[in-house]
Structure 1
Amino acid sequence: MLLLISVTLTVGVSLGAPAQEITCDRPFILNGNYIPEKTKYTLTDIIIYHCKEGFYPATKRMIARCTNTGWEPRPRCTLLQVKPCEFPKIKHGHLHTADRENTVPVGKWYDYSCNDNFVTHSGSFWGRITCTREGWSPAVPCRRRCLFRYVVHGYTPSSEEYHKDYFQGDTVRVECHPGYSLPNEQTSMTCTENGWSPPPTCIPVKYCGMPVFENATAVITGARFRVNDTLDYKCLDGYENQDGKSTASMVCGEDGWTHLPTCYKSTDMCGRPPSISNGDITSFLLAVYPPGSRIEYQCQAYYQLRGSKYVTCNEGTWSEPPKCMDPCVISEQSMNKNNIQLKGKEDKTYYAKTGDLIEFVCKSGHTAATSQQTFQAVCQEGVVEYPRCE
Structure 2
Amino acid sequence: MLLSLISVTVTLWVSWAHGQVKPCEYPEIKHGKLLRARREYFPLAVGQWYYYSCDDNYMTPTDRPWGYITCTRDRWSPEVPCLRKCVFNYLENGHYPRHEQKYLQGQSIRVTCHPGYSLPNQQTTMTCTENGWSPPPKCIHAEHCDMPLFENATAIITGKAFRPNDTLDYKCLDGYETRDGNTKGSMVCGKDGWSRLPSCFKSAEKCGPPPAVANGDITSFPLTAYPPGSRVEYQCQAYYELQGPKYATCSDAKWSETPKCLDPCIISEEMLNKNNLRLKGKEDKKYYAKTGEIIKFMCKSGHDTVTSRQSFQATCREGTVELPRCK
The TM-score normalised by the length of structure 1 is 0.45
Q: Does 1:213 align with 2:173?
A: no
Q: Choose from 241, 251, 274 the match for 1:304.
A: 241
Match of 2:168, SS state, is strand
Matching residue of 1:104: none
Paired AA for residue 332 in structure 1: E
Q: Which sections of structure 1, spanning at least 5 residues, go unmatched?
A: 1-204
2:215 is matched with 278
The letter of the residue matching 2:212 is S
Structure 2: distance between partners of 1:349 and 1:255: 52
Deviations 1:165-193 (A, max 9, x none): xxxxxxxxxxxxxxxxxxxxxxxxxxxxx
- One-letter code of the match for 2:201? Y
Tell me what 1:378 maps to.
315
- Structure with bigger RCO (C-alpha 8 Å, 6+ apart): 2
From 337, 350, 362, the equivalent of 2:299 is: 362
User: Do 1:304 and 1:326's aligned partners in 2 also have CA atoms closer than 8 Å?
Assistant: yes
1: distance between equivalents of 2:144 and 2:281?
Answer: 69
Aligned length: 186
2:230 counterpart of 1:293: yes
TM-fit CA distance, 1:364: 1.3
Which 5+ residue runs of structure 2 have no aligned equivalent? Answer: 1-141
* Aligned CA distance change for structure 1 residues 225 and 353 (closer, same or farther; 3 Å): same
**AA of the residue aligned to 1:359:** K
- RMSD of the TM alignment (CA)? 2.0
Distance, in Å, in 2 between the alignment partners of 1:348 and 1:257 is 56
CA contact (8 A) 1:244 1:288 kept: no
The offset of 1:304, in angstroms, is 1.0
Match of 2:172 among 235, 253, 264: 235
Name the CA shift for 1:345/1:210 in 2 (closer, same or farther; >3 Å): closer
CA offset digits 1:232-254 (Å, max 9, x no partner)? 11112221123443221112234
- Which aligned pairs between 1:139-178 and structure 2 lie closer than 5 A? none
Offset of residue 342 of structure 1: 0.8
**Are 1:349 and 2:309 counterparts?**
no
**TM-score, length-normalised on structure 2?**
0.53
**How do 1:12-91 and structure 2 match up within 5 A?**
none
1:322 is the counterpart of 2:259: yes
1:355 alignment partner, SS class:
coil
Report the AA paired with residue 182 of structure 2: K
**Aligned match for 1:262, one of 199, 202, 207:** 199
Q: CA deviation at 1:256?
A: 4.1
- Hey, what's the Cα distance between the residues in 2 that align with 1:242 and 1:271? 11
Contact 1:359–1:375 under 8 Å retained in 2:
yes
**Distance (whole Å) between structure 2 residues aligned to residue 314 and residue 226 of structure 1:** 37
CA deviation profile, 1:62-113 (whole Å, cap 9, x unmatched): xxxxxxxxxxxxxxxxxxxxxxxxxxxxxxxxxxxxxxxxxxxxxxxxxxxx
Distance (Å, rounded) in 2 between the aligned partners of 1:315 and 1:307: 21
| Structure with greater Cα Rg | 1
